[in-house]
Structure 1
Amino acid sequence: MGKIIVALALIAASFTIEAQVKIPQASPKSTVIQTVGLTDIEIDYHRPSAKGRVVFGDLVPFGKIWRTGANENTTISFSDDVVIKDVVLKKGKYAIYTLPKADSWDVIFYATTDNWGNPEIWDDAKVVLKVNTKTEILNRNVETFTIGINNTDNNFATLELSWEKTLVAVKFEVPTQKVALASIDKTLAGPSAGDYFSAAQYYFQSNGDLSKALTYVNKAYELNEKKPYWYTRLKSQIQAKLGDKKGAIETAKISLVGAQTAKNDDYVKMNQDSIAEWSKK
């Protein structure tokens, strides 16, 4: 009897899982991905529709913080620092809140992004940037709340919020020239210390050309002013594999001192073990 009850319970549970109803969201989720110059921007938000209701001044009251959409936080992320009205907004992810008024809005970039709607307790310390902008009255009706990145240029664009017959636009500048020049300088300057180290590591680990591995690790060590102990650790391993046990021991001793200074016990032990092994006749 017990087995029959268990079997029936399993069948009922299976039916419950398979019979879950799928219906469309009242405020569907939307993601906007846009590159402006060399800066990547992503916006995630939910889009409520007016459905015959008066939106601003009624459904969305004037003078009160609005979640700027529906459901969980509307968020925006920037891959680089941007400038809004001469104020730098650091790269990262922010929640967008707004304070709608009859003829202007405050657009607020808020530090925490894990609230459902408005925070239970509003914290002014988490307001990273607040900008006031005039509203524009549209000659058409926008039924569904819409956020977009428009008027794009290599150096700027506008974040636009539109619903009903209201449009709010916030212009932001992106550091295209700075990023491009840095990329040019880095490329023309040649490989970095990290590039040389990675190449040396690959040749060593893949049993490739060890002479090249030694050349690359030496170049990495030369370019890195901090002289990392893991660089000398790799060099000692390459030297040992090339048969230069004496040189490997001397290099491992340098790595050992660096690891002891950094209090990295793992590297201390690895160097000590290698020195002991390579010292055997």
Structure 2
Amino acid sequence: MKKSIVSLIIFTIALISSNETFAQKFPKLDVSPMDAASYPNNWKDANKLVKVVYSRPQLKGRDLGKLAPKDKVWRTGANEAAEITFYKKVDFGGKKVKPGTYTLFTIPQDGKWTVILSNQKNVWGAYFYDEKEDVLRVTGKVSKSNNKIEAFSILFDGEKDDIKMYMGWGDTIVTVPLEIEKEE
């Protein structure tokens, strides 16, 4: 009888504990989900040159100029500022960059965007952006997309040493060239 009571108590405690695990309230899917882009972009190729992690806001009928205001530092996505990691020495937009992780900020402008790599880490938005932490600033070339891009997107494309980072949203595409630094 004692064994039955002890077994029943242990079973009840285990059942209560397991229900506590399932009672957790997990958040809904973020409206600006995180994504990542890398080069090479083939998932089978683990020898990456660059990877960027960013959130993907959507236009939903809103004006790009209000979401990424002209002449103001933007977090380059939504939520946390985008972070870009270079795994090798690279030339990014004409300037040398050491391997490491940087925060990616941008300043939308007419005909060009300023693309900023910063030493700041774990930054939410651009509210606490500090220009003193800039590693470099380069100019991204702006072109128009033939199709409307609803969700902010980043991708890398190219071959061997001729690589480009594309950021697209609305009818705007910003291009920054990237190449592997030659060993001396």
Asked if these proteins are the same fold (TM beyond 0.5), I'd say yes
Query: 2:38, 2:155 within 8 Å by CA — same for their partners in 1?
Result: no
Query: 2:94, 2:138 within 8 Å by CA — same for their partners in 1?
Result: no
RMSD: 2.6
Gaps in structure 2 of 5+ consecutive residues: 1-15, 42-46
Matches within 5 A, 1:260-279: none
Q: Which residue pairs with 2:8 in the alignment?
A: none
User: Take 2:126 and 2:169, find their aligned partners in 1: how far apart are those partners?
Assistant: 19
User: Take 1:104 and 1:34, find their aligned partners in 2: how far apart are those partners?
Assistant: 23
Q: Which residue pairs with 1:127 in the alignment?
A: 134
Q: What TM-score results when the alignment is normalised by the length of structure 2?
A: 0.79
Q: Which residue pairs with 1:46 in the alignment?
A: 55
Q: Which residue pairs with 1:27 in the alignment?
A: 32
Q: What TM-score results when the alignment is normalised by the length of structure 1?
A: 0.53
* Per-residue deviation, 1:128: 0.5
Instruction: Give the aligned residue type for 2:162.
Output: F
User: Take 1:172 and 1:19, find their aligned partners in 2: how far apart are those partners?
Assistant: 44
* Per-residue deviation, 1:48: 0.7
Query: 1:32, 1:42 within 8 Å by CA — same for their partners in 2?
Result: yes
Deviations 1:146-177 (A, max 9, x none): 00111x121131111000000000001113x6
1:19 and 1:157, CA in 2 relative to 1: closer, same or farther beyond 3 A?
Answer: same
Kindly indicate which of the two structures has a greater share of residues assigned to helix.
1
Give the share of equivalent positions with the same residue, in percent. Answer: 30
Larger CA Rg, structure 1 vs 2: 1
Q: 1:118 aligns with which of 88, 111, 126?
A: 126
Kindly indicate which of the two structures has a greater share of residues assigned to strand.
2
Which segment is superposed worse, 42-51 or 79-88? 79-88
Query: 2:145, 2:172 within 8 Å by CA — same for their partners in 1?
Result: yes
Q: Which residue pairs with 2:162 in the alignment?
A: 156
Q: Which residue pairs with 2:115 in the alignment?
A: 107
1:172 and 1:16, CA in 2 relative to 1: closer, same or farther beyond 3 A?
Answer: closer
Query: 2:93, 2:139 within 8 Å by CA — same for their partners in 1?
Result: no
Gaps in structure 1 of 5+ consecutive residues: 1-10, 183-281
* Per-residue deviation, 1:39: 5.1
Query: Which portions of structure 1, spanning 4 or more consecutive aligned residues, are displaced by more than 4 angstroms?
Result: 14-17
Aligned length: 166
Higher relative contact order (CA 8 A, sep 6+): 2
Query: 1:26, 1:48 within 8 Å by CA — same for their partners in 2?
Result: yes
